[in-house]
Amino acid sequence: MKKFIALSAIVTLIIAAANFVSCNNNSDKQAKDGTADSIQKVLDHGKYLATNVAMCIHCHSQRDFTKYAGPVTNGTEGKGGQLFDQNFGLPGKIYSKNITPDNETGIGTWTDDELLRAITQGISKNGDTLFPLMPYTNYNRMAKEDLLSIIAYIRTLKPIKNKVAERQLMMPIALAYPGQYLQASVDGNTKPSTGDMVKYGEYLITIADCGTCHSPLTPQGPDLSRMYAGGYTFNMGSNKVQSANITSDTATGIGSWTEERFLNKFHPYLKEESYNFDPGNQNTVMPVIEIAGMKDADLKAIYAYLRTVKPNKNLVEKFPK
Ligand code: HEC
Ligand code: HEC
């Protein structure tokens, strides 16, 4: 049964894939678009988005915070159970869920539509409302082909049996539900062409949800009206860390950063030795290892978009006491 659902997801995807050529004969030109290649392409794209852009894996796995930026522990991909709480400015304790294809404790029995609804509307299979810590308001803007690629990929994760604890909220979930910002359907979403760097960068930065972390934290939650001005304080136990001002303000933001400097903020973390150490009281929550894995063209598009964000003067101390 599980195999059947996984297969049907992939078939749906192939039908959705714009350039799919349905016959798979032996001529060289068409073999390039053959079924096996198309499936692999969709899965590779889904893996890239889930790991390095939408950061599903970063939140839904176990992480090792004895190392810099808390790399994901190998073999725990998708098992969930990561705790987010008051130390991160949240109204209670919220655990990421098991999104591996385990039938009992994961998403093994979920249909594509049920997954789409959870990921883009914040409604779980059983009808429960999900806390918007998972940026489903952002995923609500994602092109459907990207969403379906992610779904196809998470169905290929190793099933892990892991029952995740229930969340404990200090507010009614209805008050947190961002219903007014959600479109009822993602069918009309389009992906800007990569040639339009600013628009494409905006699309990527939305999916990556750089904005919530990079907004000032207030007692009511992150102030999204000052998105990218920084100042969200995270208490990691080992230290506090405050998100940077990444608007184009020259004095307090990254207005004076060249594209090269921006890429160099992330590139070192492609190498394990750059994060495989105990950072003591200078650790960070930013998924810098995952962001490092973004294609240069995608990072450059994000940079191009950030150049267009209004300068916002806000001096941030990276490691406040
Ligand atoms: C910032 C962290 C974060 C990111 C990024 C994130 N999630 Fe989640 N996700 C969560 C949390 C936390 C919950 C549980 C929320 C709750 O209990 O209210 C959740 C819930 C879910 C659920 C519902 C599962 C259930 O049993 O109800 C699914 C499915 C899911 N996430 C898939 C994804 C996918 C796919 C992505 C990437 C496109 C993703 N998540 C990105 C944190 C995250
Ligand atoms: C989980 C929260 C979180 C997310 C998500 C996040 N950041 Fe950050 N970011 C931080 C924090 C905290 C810092 C300061 C500590 C550090 O440098 O890691 C930071 C620092 C930075 C810096 C360094 C600026 C400076 O002045 O040194 C850049 C650039 C940056 N982030 C860009 C991004 C981009 C682009 C994304 C999305 C692709 C992103 N961040 C996503 C929390 C986050």
What is the tens place of the pLDDT at every residue in 181-206? 999 999 999 999 999 999 999 999 99
301 CA → ligand 2 middle, Å: 16
Residue 242 near residue 230, CB atoms below 8 Å:
yes
Residues whose CB is less than 8 angstroms from the CB of residue 89 and which lie 6 or more positions away in sequence, other chains included: 217, 221, 222, 232, 233, 234
Atom of ligand 2 nearest to the CA of 299: 35
* Candidate from 83, 202, 213, 266 with most ligand 2 atoms within 8 A of CB, to mutate: 213
Question: Tokens standing for 263?
Answer: 């890429």
Residue length, the chain?
A: 321
Question: Tokens standing for 75?
Answer: 């073999």
For residue 213, what pLDDT is reported?
Answer: 98
For residue 19, what pLDDT is reported?
Answer: 36
Q: Which residues line ligand 2 (CB under 6 A)?
A: 208, 210, 213-214, 234, 241, 243-244, 246, 254, 265, 284-288, 291, 302, 318
Q: Which amino acid is at 284?
A: T
Quick: pLDDT tens for 275-289: 999 999 999 999 999
Average the pLDDT over 79-84 and give the result: 98
State the chain's mean pLDDT as an integer. Answer: 92
CA distance 109 to 6: 10
Q: Nearest to residue 138, comparing CAs of 150, 121, 154?
A: 121
Atom of ligand 2 nearest to the CA of 254: 26
CA distance 263 to 259: 6
Distance of CA 274 to the CA centre of its chain: 22
Distance of CA 258 to the CA centre of its chain: 25
For residue 20, what pLDDT is reported?
Answer: 34
CA distance 30 to 228: 46
